[in-house]
Amino acid sequence: MLLKQFFPAALLALALAGGCKRTPLSSPEYAYVSAPQIFLRDRISAVYNKIGTLTNGERVVVLQHDRRFVKVRTSQGVEGWVEQRSLADQSVYDQLDALSKKFGSAPAQAHATARNDVNMHVTPARDSDKLFQIKENEKLELFQRAVTNKNAVVHAAPIVRRTPKPSKAQLKEVAKKKGVELPPPPPAPSVPAIAYERFEPQPEAPKPAADPGPPEDWWLVRDSHGRAGWVLGRMLEVDVPLEIAQYAEGKRIVGAFVLTTVEDDATDRPNHQVPYYLVLTNEPHDGQQQDYDGIRVFTWNIKRHRYETAYREHDLNGYLPVSVATGSAPAFAIHVKSADGTMAEKKYHMEGVLVKRDYAAGEQPAPRLVRARHHRR
């Protein structure tokens, strides 16, 4: 009699457990398409129909979870299944949205062009969460630079699955099972007569430390849609005028700021206006501690119709941001870190084609080294 009562209850429990694979949600949950493009399936099976297409950044309502797949509803009201790995959680969107608001009105430190399709990450790491994708040749604004090792592990946050509340029918079935008397467990197996040798586990050899990989530059960027996030630096090409790029002398140009303009009727530029530039340079490989190690000011020679170096300073431990005041009295300020780690601001202004340093109260210019002259006897 007990077995007759047990088997129907066991079958009911298995049916309920099987139904728990697909967990409907009782409250709204949102996700965003992180893949470039995905198809909406009508069912989870080897053979399915494509009932829609979702593009990068599109928001959907999550209706149900099923292992690797998620049932969603699009903004057009179409319901279907997509792979969970193609979606980003609401928290990922919120983090990128916070960056967009923080740098919404900040002045750009440089401008760049995407060399290829590239993902926008929440943090400067390859393994970090990503959502939006930047298209090839899209124009970007650059704000901050960071250095991270190539193999740095930053565990991506999976889509949060909310525990569904059991239905009234499920609660009733669970209450029924509590009153079912289960049969006693089988007896424990007897000890075999064969004598076994005692197994002594050997200590595991220490695993070698994971190779962090080479350092890589990352940039915090803002795209043409006003969205901000971190992008791998080698996927960007900094926009630099060709007349200035030829004077890089093996350095990497980090940014070029317009200080002022002069009129030269011999040029074919708009309104014959030619800009003066403040250029930041650095070593031509990733992983540098400083954002730039040198500055250079280029002015335009109206008589010779060419750029010339008006000011140059190297061996700097410079960090962004750089502030620039344009107009008839151009000026700029940079930030450098000293040997003791303190950050100091250095200010400059221009008088014609001359660049002069502005010293704070009590600050004295560094003495110039004068070479001794050797007189012939």
Q: What is the model's pTM? A: 0.76
* Whether the predicted pLDDT of 163 surpasses 70: no
At 247-283, the pLDDT tens digits run 999 999 999 999 999 999 999 989 999 999 999 999 9
Residue type, 75: S
More confident residue, 13 or 105: 105
**What is residue 229's predicted lDDT score, i.e. its pLDDT?**
97
Enumerate residues 6+ apart whose C-beta is below 8 A from 334: 295, 316, 318, 322, 345, 346, 348
Question: Does residue 365 have a cis bond before it (omega within 30 degrees)?
Answer: no
* Whether the predicted pLDDT of 341 surpasses 70: yes
Cα separation, 128 vs 140, in Å, equals 21
Residue type, 196: Y
- Residue in 271, 274, 250 with CA at minimum distance from that of residue 262: 274
At 57-113, the pLDDT tens digits run 999 999 999 889 999 999 999 999 999 999 999 999 999 999 999 998 899 999 999
**What is residue 18's predicted lDDT score, i.e. its pLDDT?**
44
**pLDDT-derived band at 4, boundaries 50, 70, 90:** very low
Length of the chain measured in residues: 377
- The 3-state DSSP class for residue 354 equals strand
**In the chain, what are the domains?**
24-90 (2.30.30.40), 103-148+214-239 (2.30.30.40), 240-361 (no CATH)
- Residue in 309, 291, 292 with CA at minimum distance from that of residue 300: 309
More confident residue, 371 or 224: 224
More confident residue, 7 or 89: 89
Cα separation, 317 vs 335, in Å, equals 8
| Mean pLDDT across 330-341 | 94
Task: Using a pLDDT cut of 90, give the percent of the chain over it.
Answer: 66
More confident residue, 328 or 336: 336
Contact 128, 122 (CB under 8 A): yes
